[in-house]
Amino acid sequence: MSNSRVFKGIVIVILAFQFTSCINTRKATYFNDVGNLSFPEIFEDGDPILQANDILSISVSSLNPDAAKIFNATNVTATQTSSSTGTTTQASGYLIDKEGVIRFPLLGRIMAAGMTKKGLREEITQQLIDKKLLLDPIVDVRFLNYRVSVLGEVKNPSVLTIPNEKVTILEALGLAGDLTIYARRDNVLLIRNEDGIKKTRRIDLTSGEIFTSPYYYLRSNDVIYVQPNKSKVASSGRATQWLPVIISALSLVIVVLNNK
């Protein structure tokens, strides 16, 4: 067997392997059908329902700042949260316990689970007024553990803490380092808890319809899973299958060259 034939055989094997690994570039890009268009921004400004294990920041102010101080003492409940950069931070606030209750200074136990932030804000305000604890109190309620999880074929799978309580699916994927070249952009899975029921939705990022989708903006505790495409799955198997062949071919070349 001549050296040229051995070399040609190796080239054919490598080319065949590369050809079967090709990816449809249209499936690897976003928004293929989007031109010079305008999309109305659709943001569900609905107040999410509070539930057990939510951690809340509750601040109180009034015409008498000294009287309001007692209601703004740092709560002892703390939790660790991971940010998009991989760092871990401590979030101190009011934890809604398993019974759905928070314990607020001077007001005691307040049933928070099942309410919205607006509802809880109004409840605390009204109790402060009824018990004549503050004059014209202003209460603000915010989430401290508003987070979404991004898993699968992204550069940095992680649980993302969102401080402004508003994030799009594109922003979440960007914070996770964007999708890898092996990700299925036409079939991203969204898992959401609505009214105590886990619901799943499939999202096509290759279509411009994502901009008008009700799932464009994420909610707290949403989970995004990006599955690998067929090329990734197939290449994992082919790598194991072809490695002995390539090693054998290289060994043959060495033997032929040594016997030349």
**Which residue would you say has higher pLDDT here, 86 or 130?**
130
Q: Residue 25, Cβ neighbours under 10 Å: how many?
A: 9
Beta bridge partners of 55: 95
Separation of alpha carbons 53 and 48, rounded Å:
14
- What is the rounded distance in angstroms from the CA atom of residue 232 to the CA atom of residue 152? 12
The reported pTM is: 0.64
What is residue 177's predicted lDDT score, i.e. its pLDDT? 94
Q: For residues 110 and 124, is the Cβ–Cβ distance under 8 A?
A: yes
Which neighbouring-strand residues pair with 36? none
- The whole-angstrom distance between residue 1's C-alpha and the CA centroid of its chain comes to 57
Give the Cα separation of 234 and 18 in Å (integer): 12
pLDDT for the residue numbered 145: 87
Q: How far apart are CA 242 and CA 240, in angstroms?
A: 6
Q: Over the stretch 60-85, which tens digit does the pLDDT of each residue have?
A: 999 888 999 999 876 545 455 444 44
**Local structure of 140: helix, strand or coil:** strand
CATH code: domain 55-143 is: 3.30.1950.10
**125-166: pLDDT as tens digits:** 999 999 999 999 999 999 998 899 999 999 999 999 888 888
Yes or no: say if 88 and 159 are a contact pair by the CB < 8 Å rule: no
- 121 has pLDDT over 90: yes
Q: Could you tell me what percent of the chain has a pLDDT over 70?
A: 63
Architecture in CATH for domain 31-45+146-228: Roll (3.10)
The C-alpha torsion from 151 through 153 and 158 to 160, rounded to 10°, is -80
CB under 8 Å, gap of 24 or more: what pairs does 158-163 form? 158/82, 158/84, 158/86, 159/81, 159/82, 160/82, 160/83, 160/84, 161/81, 161/82, 161/83, 161/84, 161/89, 162/220
Q: What are phi and psi of 67, to 5 degrees?
A: -70, -25
**Distance, CA of 226 to CA of 257 (rounded, Å):** 47
104, pLDDT greater than 90: yes
Of the candidates 110, 108, 96, the residue with the CA atom closest to the CA atom of residue 57: 96
